[in-house]
Structure 1
Amino acid sequence: MALNEKELLRYKHSIAVPGLGLSMQEKIKNTRILVIGCGGLGATVLQYLSAAGVGVIGIADYGVLNEEDLSRTPLFQIQDIRKHKAKMASSRMWAFNPFTKHYPFLIQVKPENVQQVIREFDLVIDCSQNEPTHLVVNDGCILGGKPFVMAEVHNWTAWWAGFNIPQANGDFSASYRCVRKEVDEYRNFDAGALPFTHGAAATHIVNSVMRYLLEVPGLANLHSFDFLHQQYKTTETRADAGVVAETKERGLLTADEYGMTIEPDVED
């Protein structure tokens, strides 16, 4: 789908960037991305995906906004408290960029629905920062042949990585299950959450995703940033063929096997 006249005006500065141009901006428009989780990390990822002109953005989050969420989710306002985050995010971003379609899914991504939810998207970005959800998304994307990105932020430290990314030799990059030990060193679930590290990490993630869409290699690695000491690190990841084969053979597990707590369906 080509850009219309108003989109050409809106994205003219991006189109002018060397190596981007009209064809790449049109490719971005024709991309469909699902973001899982609309908290401090996901909300900012959504904003910059929309700003970049991604044509279709899915927003999967079953939760409502709490007052303690506001410090790290500047997408929302105080009158949004106790409203569904996915629904309010969709509304805010439509007002910001009506040329992008924003679809809220007021659901918990779980074994029973993950394959259906991801089916129509080209890329999945898991910002849930929840280990059982990571595993469900990993298994669903491996079974569905979808590339996906996962990310977390813990106080001053962020990590993100692309998984199941097609490679030039016909293989695929590592799955999340292949690198769980590597990402553990960046985690501290009890260390609180800083608003600005979430926002800064989100821009890094969107930059990595945009580079991937522009066919620049590098997403299929483990990236980390220590914002306190301004230290960036990239670690090459390798697919474990045995782990991937086992995932495909076993298929999706039950919620209990993932250690996932199933939340009640929300009312719209």
Structure 2
Amino acid sequence: MLSEKELNRYKHPIAVPGMGVQMQEHLKKARILIIGAGGLGTPVAHYLSAAGVGVIGIADYGVILEEDLHRLLIFNMQDLRKHKAKMAASRLFSLNPWNKHYPFLIQVRPDNARQVFQGFDLIIDCSQHRATHLVVNDACILDNKPFVMGEVHNWTAWWGGFNMAPASGAPPASYRCNEFLLDDFRNFDAGAMGATHGATALLMVNEIIKYLAGVPGLAGKLHTFNYLHHQFDVQDLHSDAAKIQGVKEQGLLSADDYGLEIVPDVED
């Protein structure tokens, strides 16, 4: 139940047609883990917290660097060299103390993913790292958890809702089933725009809130954007039963199998 102060805080989103008190209470019950407190993860976390998502976990083993501040707008100069996950949780608490924000100063990897994911009902992978995507995909398939992934490369971006049953009744799609769709949207040239990360995060959060409210549109869809030429597209994700069954039979692989370089545990 929302307190009187929360009802006042959220009175404007509650007034939006189709939302109301019941949907706001549903947001409060949601438990979301965000992987990566960088240019994509921090604005996603910021707007989900502001929207009233009750529990937000933030997993990141890195520290805040000055050259990244142009796209890490929840941090300040005095935060340099501090842990991103811990400072993100602190900033989000100062924004919305009605929610719970838990920092995980870890690298998500095969030996901890399923344990970390326990207790969360939606995983959002903002790591922008293929090996981590594969670990997240396999762990979520094994534990039947829905997940969202996204990346931003220069002027282009993509994101989609995976392991979710589409409104069409088609079987849920995994990340492994759809990598062939993503190759054209990967641009590994140097450079990162703050605005493209922020814009992508806002579009993701809008669809995630709709998903939590039971509105179709996120599940089984791949959204792609070219901000330079203002070209947007949405297409259906594909489900490959053999690949999904292979994950269920093999379980999580080794870090080497994923091509994941293990980093030392963070000393707090």
Instruction: Return the TM-score normalized by structure 1.
Output: 0.97
Percent identity between the two aligned chains: 62
Is 1:71 aligned to 2:58, yes or no? no
What's the C-alpha RMSD, in Å, of the aligned pairs?
A: 1.1
Number of the residue aligned with 1:253: 253
Higher mean C-alpha displacement, 196-205 vs 207-216: 207-216
Helix, strand or coil at the partner of 1:92: helix
Cα deviation code 1:221-255 (max 9, x no counterpart)? 00011111111100111211111001111110000
Cα deviation code 1:46-84 (max 9, x no counterpart)? 000001100000000011111111111011001111100
Aligned pairs (5 A) from 1:49-64: 49-64=48-63
Cα deviation code 1:178-211 (max 9, x no counterpart)? 0001011110122411011000000001011011
Number of the residue aligned with 1:30: 29
Q: Partner letter of residue 96 of structure 1?
A: L
Give the CA deviation at 1:166.
2.8
Higher mean C-alpha displacement, 169-178 vs 64-73: 169-178
Give the CA deviation at 1:172.
4.1
Higher mean C-alpha displacement, 120-129 vs 190-199: 190-199
Aligned residues: 267
Q: Distance in 2 between matches of 1:156 and 1:93?
A: 28
Q: Distance in 1 between matches of 2:155 and 2:140?
A: 29
Q: Distance in 2 between matches of 1:12 and 1:3?
A: 11
Helix, strand or coil at the partner of 1:209: helix
Q: Partner letter of residue 107 of structure 1?
A: I
Number of the residue aligned with 2:224: 224
Q: Partner letter of residue 56 of structure 1?
A: V
Q: Partner letter of residue 14 of structure 1?
A: P
The answer to whether the Cα contact below 8 Å between 2:110 and 2:253 also exists between their aligned partners in 1 is yes
Helix, strand or coil at the partner of 1:40: coil
Instruction: Return the TM-score normalized by structure 2.
Output: 0.97
Unaligned runs of 5+ in 2: none
Aligned pairs (5 A) from 1:47-196: 47-167=46-166, 172-196=171-195
Unaligned runs of 5+ in 1: none
Give the CA deviation at 1:23.
0.5
Q: Distance in 2 between matches of 1:64 and 1:212?
A: 31
Q: Distance in 2 between matches of 1:257 and 1:222?
A: 26
Higher mean C-alpha displacement, 77-86 vs 186-195: 186-195
Higher mean C-alpha displacement, 160-169 vs 184-193: 160-169
The answer to whether the Cα contact below 8 Å between 2:166 and 2:216 also exists between their aligned partners in 1 is no
Q: Distance in 2 between matches of 1:261 and 1:139?
A: 17
Number of the residue aligned with 2:17: 18
Helix, strand or coil at the partner of 2:185: coil
Q: Partner letter of residue 227 of structure 1?
A: Y
Helix, strand or coil at the partner of 2:235: strand
Q: Distance in 1 between matches of 2:209 and 2:183?
A: 26
